[in-house]
Structure 1
Amino acid sequence: MRTLRAFLLVVAVLAATLVTPAPAQAVTTHIYPATRDTYVKASSPNTNYNSQRQLVVAGSPDRISYLAFAVTGLTEPILHATLRMKTLDTSNAGSTDGGRVFPVGSSWSETTLTYATRPAPIGPSVTPIERVKPDTIHDIDVTDAIRGNGVVSFGIFSNHTDGAYYHSRENNEAAGPALLVYTGVPSTDDTVILAAGDIADCRTERDEQTAKILDTEVGVVAAIGDTAYEKGAPEEYAACYAPTWGRHKSRTRPAVGNHEYLTPNAAGYFGYFGAAAGPPGQGWYSYNMAGGQWHVVVLNSNCAKIGGCHAGSPQERWLRADLAASKARCTVAYWHQPLFASGGRGSSAYRPLFQALYDAGVEVLLNAHNHQYERFAPQTPTGAADPDRGVRQFIIGTGGRSLQPDFPTVAANSEVRNGNVFGVLRLTLLPGEYRWRFVPVAGQTFNEVGTGLCH
Structure 2
Amino acid sequence: MRCFRALALAAVVLAATLVAPPPALAVTTHVYPATRDTYANASSPNTNYNSQRQLAVAGSPDRISYLTFAVTGLTEPVLHAVLRMQTLDTSNAGSSDGGHVFLVGSSWSETALTYANRPAPTGPSLAAIERVKPDTVHDINVTDAIRGDGVVSFGIFSTNTDGAYYHSRENNKAGPALLVYTGVPGTDDTVLLAAGDIADCRSDRDEQTARVLDAEVGVIAAIGDTAYEKGAPEEYAACYAPSWGRHKARTRPAAGNHEYLTPNAAGYFGYFGAAAGPPDKGWYSYDLAGGQWHVVVLNGNCAQVGGCHAGSPQEQWLRADLANSPARCTVAYWHQPLFASGGRGNAAYRPLFQALYDAGVELLLNAHNHQYERFAPQKPTGAADPDRGVRQFIVGTGGRSLQPDFPTVAPNSEVRNGSVHGVLRLTLFPGEYRWRFVPVAGQTFNEVGTGLCH
Q: Structures share a fold, TM > 0.5?
A: yes
| Alpha-carbon distance, 1:284 to partner | 0.2
Q: How does 1:190-209 map to 2 (within 5 A)?
A: 190-209=189-208
Residue aligning to 1:443:
442
Q: Which residue of 2 aligns with 1:9?
A: 7
Work out whether residues 188 and 251 of structure 1, in 8 Å CA contact, stay in contact via their aligned partners in 2: no
Structure 2 CA distance for aligned equivalents of residues 379 and 14 of structure 1: 44
Q: Which residue of 1 aligns with 2:135?
A: none
- Preserved contact between residue 437 and residue 449 of structure 1 (Cα < 8 Å): yes
Task: Report if aligned partners of 2:223, 2:335 keep a CA contact under 8 Å in 1.
Answer: yes
TM-score, normalised by the number of residues in structure 2: 0.61
Contact kept? 1:188, 1:220, Cα under 8 Å? no
Q: Structure 1 residues 431, 202: CA separation in 2 closer, same or farther (over 3 Å shift)?
A: same
Residue 402 of structure 1 and its aligned partner are, at CA, apart by 0.6
CA distance in 2, matches of 1:337, 1:15: 27
CA distance in 2, matches of 1:334, 1:346: 15
Report the Cα offset of residue 188 of structure 1.
5.7
Partner of 1:225: 224
| Separation in 1, partners of 2:190, 2:319 | 24
Q: Which runs of 4+ in 1 moved over 6 A?
A: none
SS at match of 1:382: coil
Q: Percent identity?
A: 86
- CA apart distance, 1:281: 1.1
Aligned equivalent of 1:309: 308
Question: Which residues of 2 match residues 388-427 of structure 1 at below 5 A?
Answer: 388-427=387-426
Cα distance in structure 2, aligned partners of 1:443 and 1:340: 30
Query: What's the CA shift for 1:383?
Result: 0.3
Residue 14 to residue 211, structure 1, CA distance change in 2 (3 Å): closer
- Distance, in Å, in 2 between the alignment partners of 1:295 and 1:265 is 28
Shift of the 288–15 alpha-carbon distance from structure 1 to 2, 3 Å rule, reads: closer
Alpha carbons 2:289, 2:429 under 8 Å: kept: yes
Q: What secondary structure is seen at the aligned counterpart in 2 of 1:388?
A: coil
Distance 2:273 2:7 in 1: 21
Other-structure match for 1:377 = 376
> Given the alignment of the two structures, is residue 276 of structure 1 paired with residue 275 of structure 2, yes or no?
yes
CA contact 1:284–1:315 (8 Å) conserved in 2: yes
Post-superposition offset of 1:7: 3.3
CA-to-partner distance for each residue in 1:172-224, whole Å, 9 max, x for gaps?
Answer: xxxxxxxxxxxxxxx86110000000000000010000000000000000000
Q: Distance in 2 between matches of 1:339 and 1:263?
A: 24
Distance 1:245 1:15, change over 3 A: closer
Q: Output the CA distance in 2 between the equivalents of 1:253 and 1:259.
A: 17
Q: Conserved in 2, the CA contact under 8 Å of 1:8 and 1:238?
A: no
Give secondary structure in 2 for the equivalent of 1:190: helix
- Which deviations, in whole Å up to 9, do the C-alpha atoms of 1:380-416 show, x marking residues without a partner? 0000000000000000000001100000000000000
- Describe the SS at the equivalent of 2:406: coil
Q: Is the 8 A contact 1:295 1:330 kept in 2?
A: yes
Q: Which residue of 2 aligns with 1:354?
A: 353
Deviation at 1:8, TM superposition (A): 2.8
Per the alignment, residue 322 of structure 2 pairs with: 323
* Alpha-carbon shift at residue 371 of structure 1 (Å): 0.1
Map Cα deviations across residues 395-438 of structure 1 (whole Å, 9 max, x no partner).
Answer: 00000011000000000000000000000000010010000000
CA distance in 2, matches of 1:208, 1:287: 27
Shift of 1:336: 0.1
- Map of 1:184 onto structure 2: none
- Residue matched to 2:237: 238
How far apart are the structure 1 equivalents of 2:11 and 2:286?
Answer: 34
Output aligned runs, 1:2-401, within 5 Å.
Answer: 2-3=2-3, 6-13=4-11, 189-401=188-400
For residues 188 and 202 of structure 1, the distance between their equivalents in structure 2, rounded to whole angstroms, comes to 32
For 2:345 and 2:352, how far apart are their aligned partners in 1?
14
* Aligned-partner Cα distance in 2 for 1:274–1:13: 18
d(CA) in 2 for partners of 1:378 and 1:263?
Answer: 35
C-alpha distance in 2, partners of 1:14/1:237? Answer: 9
Alignment partners' CA distance in 1, 2:10 and 2:438: 33
**1: distance between equivalents of 2:409 and 2:247?**
35
- For the residues of structure 2 that align with 1:351 and 1:310, how far apart are their CA atoms? 8
The 8 Å contact of residues 295 and 331 in structure 1, kept in 2 or not, is answered as: yes
> Equivalent residue of 2:7, what SS?
helix
What is the Cα deviation at residue 293 of structure 1? 0.3
Supply the AA of the counterpart residue of 1:214.
L
Alpha-carbon distance in 2 for matches of 1:422, 1:337: 18
Q: Deviations over 1:216-252 (max 9, x none)?
A: 0000000000000000000000000000000100000
Shift of the alpha carbon at 1:13? 3.5
Provide closer, same or farther for how the CA distance between residues 270 and 453 of structure 1 changes in structure 2, counting only shifts above 3 A: same
Query: Normalization by structure 1: what TM-score?
Result: 0.61
CA distance in 1, matches of 2:13, 2:447: 44
Which ranges in structure 1 are unaligned for 5 or more consecutive residues? 17-186
Residue 393 to residue 299, structure 1, CA distance change in 2 (3 Å) = same
What code does the residue aligned with 1:347 have?
A: N
C-alpha change, 1:322 and 1:209, in structure 2 (3 Å) is same
**Structure 1 residue 15, shift from structure 2 partner:** 8.5
Q: Partner amino acid for 1:379?
A: Q
Three-state SS of the structure 1 residue aligned to 2:415 is strand
Q: Distance in 1 between matches of 2:247 and 2:293?
A: 22
Distance in 2, Cα, partners of 1:188 & 1:267: 33
1:356 counterpart SS class: helix
Q: How well do the aligned residues superpose, as a CA RMSD in angstroms? A: 1.4
